[in-house]
Amino acid sequence: MFEIVKVSPFYRNTPKTISQLFKRSCPLFANDSKFFTFHTLIIYLFNKTNYFKPMNKLQKTIMGHEVGLFPMWFMRQAGRYLPEYMEVKNNSKGFMHMALTPEIAKTITLQPVERFPDLDAAIIFSDILVIPWAMGQPLTFDPGPKLGELDPQIWNTDIDVIKEKLKPVYQAIEKVRMKLDSQKSLIGFAGAPWTILRYMMSGPKNNPNPKYDITYTIKPSDIDQFDAIFRLDKLIKLIIMHLSEQVKAGCDVVQLFDSWAGELGENFIIDWCYNPIAKIVEEFKKLHPNVPIIGFPKGIGKDVKEFCHWTGIDCVSISPEVDPKWAVKHIPQYAIQGGMDPEILTKDPSVAKIDIIRKALYYIRQFEKHPYVFNLGSGILKTTDPKSLGVLIDVVKQNREFIRKRKLEAKKKKEKKNDTQ
C-alpha cells in the first residue's frame, strides 16, 4: 500500500495507508474491492472526510494555541431571538419536531451564520435532553422543556436503540456540513452527566415551582450515592457515543454543557463533575484525538482552574463571574472561551452600543496574548436584539483584523532587520 504523507501539523487524522482510510471513512468500500476506484478515494478524501482539511480559526485557537485569531460563535446563536427562527417555529409542530426533522434542524442551524457571515462556527440545533428522551423518558416543550416521570427501566435501554432514535440529529449534521463553508467549524454538543441526571431526576411530579417546567429542587444530597454512581456511569457511555456519532456525521468541535455544576459544592464537584467529564474526555480522545472538546462548567467561578487540570479538557468556557485577568494568569496552558455577560445584548443598540464596544474591547485586550474564543458567559437570551449582536460581531471582526495586520507589520520589520544584519 502507498503511504499517505502527513505534510503539515495543520492536517488532521491522516491515516497511514489507503486501507486505513477506507476502514475509517467507508467500511463498505474497504471490505469489497470491486467498489474501489481512484475517483471514489478522491471523493471521500475531500468531500466526505476531514483528513486533509486544514484547521480553521477555532481549531487553531483551541488545539494549536494560536493567539489573536479570536474565532467567534455564540451559545444558543440559533434560536428564538431571531425573527427567521420564530417564523420556522410558528410553522412547525414544536421544538422536538424541529430538532428531529433533519431538513428543519439544518435550516435553523444555518440561520445565524447566514445572517452574520463573520461567525466562525455553527452549532447544531438540538438539546442536551435528547439523551434522556432517546432512553425513553418523555420530553415535551411547552414552551420550555418538560421531562415526564422517570421509569427506572429506561436505564436498561440498549445503546444501539438510543443511537437509532438519535439518528435524525446525525442526519441533520450531515446536511449542515454539506452546506456550511468549509472554513467554518460545526460544533456538536451534549449535556454533562450531572446536568442530565439532575434534569432526569427532577420530573414534574416533584415540581413545587410553577415558574419552571422542569423542577430544580433535586440536590446532590438528595440522591443516593451508589445509585448516582451507577446512573452517571451509564450517562458517561451514552454521552461518549452521542459526541462520537456527531463527529462521524461532520462535527469538528464538541462542547460539554455542565449547566448545574455551580451548585455541586466541594463535597460533590469532584465525583459528580470533574471525574465523569475526565472519563468522557479520556474515552472521546481515544476515538477522536484531534477533535477539540470544550467544557462549560457553568457557575463554578475560580474552580475552573481545578476543572481544567482535573478533566484534561482542551478549552474551558467561563461564566461572567470569572475575571478575564484572573483567567489569563491562572489558566495559562488552556484555551479559554466566553465570559461576557449576555444581558448587555438585550438592550437597544442605539442605547447600548458604546457599552457593547467597551466590553468587547476589554475582553479582546485581556486575551490578546492568550488563545481565546469569543463567546458569551452563557447562551444568547430570548430578549437579545439581533442588531446588538451585530454590533458585537463587527467590533470583534474589526479588532482581530487590526491585530492581524499589526502582527504582519511586526514580522516584516523583524525580517527586514535580520536581512540588514
- When pLDDT is cut at 50, 70 and 90, the band that residue 140 belongs to is confident
pLDDT at residue 33 in the model = 42
- When pLDDT is cut at 50, 70 and 90, the band that residue 29 belongs to is very low
Angle (nearest 5°) at CA 303 between 300 and 304: 85
Same domain, 109 and 27: no
Same domain, 22 and 138: no
Same domain, 162 and 292: yes
Same domain, 4 and 137: no
pLDDT at residue 224 in the model = 63
Return the DSSP state at 319: P
Write out the H or E segment, with its range, that includes residue 363. Answer: helix 349-366
The domain tally of the chain equals 2
| Chain segment 201-229, per-residue pLDDT in tens | 875 544 433 333 444 445 666 666 657 77
- Domain of 30 in residue numbering reads as 1-54
Same domain, 44 and 108: no
The phi, psi pair for 225, rounded to 5°, reads -60, -45
- Alpha-carbon distance 383 to 89, whole Å? 16
Same domain, 1 and 74: no
Mean pLDDT of all residues in 379-389: 95
Mean pLDDT of all residues in 335-364: 94
Higher-scoring residue by pLDDT: 47, 9 = 47
pLDDT at residue 219 in the model = 63
- Is 22 a residue whose pLDDT tops 70? no
List Cβ neighbours of 116 (8 Å cut-off, separation of 6 or more): 389, 390, 393
- Alpha-carbon distance 234 to 245, whole Å? 17
pLDDT at residue 146 in the model = 84
Of 105-114, 161-170, 403-412, give the lowest mean pLDDT range: 403-412
Same domain, 268 and 364: yes
| Chain segment 348-360, per-residue pLDDT in tens | 888 899 999 999 9
CA distance from start to end of the chain: 49
Same domain, 171 and 36: no
Q: Which of 75, 55, 53, 63 is nearest to 293 (CA)?
A: 63
Same domain, 224 and 278: yes
Mean pLDDT of all residues in 260-278: 92
> Is the N-terminal amide bond of 143 cis, ω within 30° of 0?
yes
| Chain segment 67-113, per-residue pLDDT in tens | 999 999 999 999 999 999 999 999 999 999 999 999 999 999 999 99
- Is 345 a residue whose pLDDT tops 80? yes
Mean pLDDT of all residues in 404-409: 80
Angle, helix 225-249 to helix 275-287, in steps of 10 degrees: 30
Q: Which of 35, 54, 73 is the last residue before a domain boundary? A: 54
Higher-scoring residue by pLDDT: 161, 420 = 161
Write out the H or E segment, with its range, that includes residue 141. Answer: strand 139-141
Mean pLDDT, the chain, whole residue set: 85
pLDDT at residue 142 in the model = 75
Q: Which of 38, 54, 70 is the last residue before a domain boundary? A: 54
Same domain, 202 and 345: yes
- Is 16 a residue whose pLDDT tops 60? no
Return the DSSP state at 183: T
Write out the H or E segment, with its range, that includes residue 147. Answer: strand 145-147
Return the DSSP state at 216: -
Cell of 85: 427562527
Mean pLDDT of all residues in 299-304: 95
- Alpha-carbon distance 216 to 209, whole Å? 8
Q: Which of 281, 329, 335 is nearest to 65 (CA)?
A: 335
pLDDT at residue 141 in the model = 85
Same domain, 308 and 402: yes
- Is 273 a residue whose pLDDT tops 90? yes
Pairing status of strand 139-141 against strand 145-147: antiparallel
Same domain, 212 and 325: yes
- When pLDDT is cut at 50, 70 and 90, the band that residue 52 belongs to is low
Mean pLDDT of all residues in 180-208: 84
Strand partners, 191: 257
pLDDT at residue 290 in the model = 95
pTM of the model: 0.83
3-state secondary structure of 186: strand
pLDDT at residue 406 in the model = 84
pLDDT at residue 405 in the model = 82
Mean pLDDT of all residues in 171-185: 96
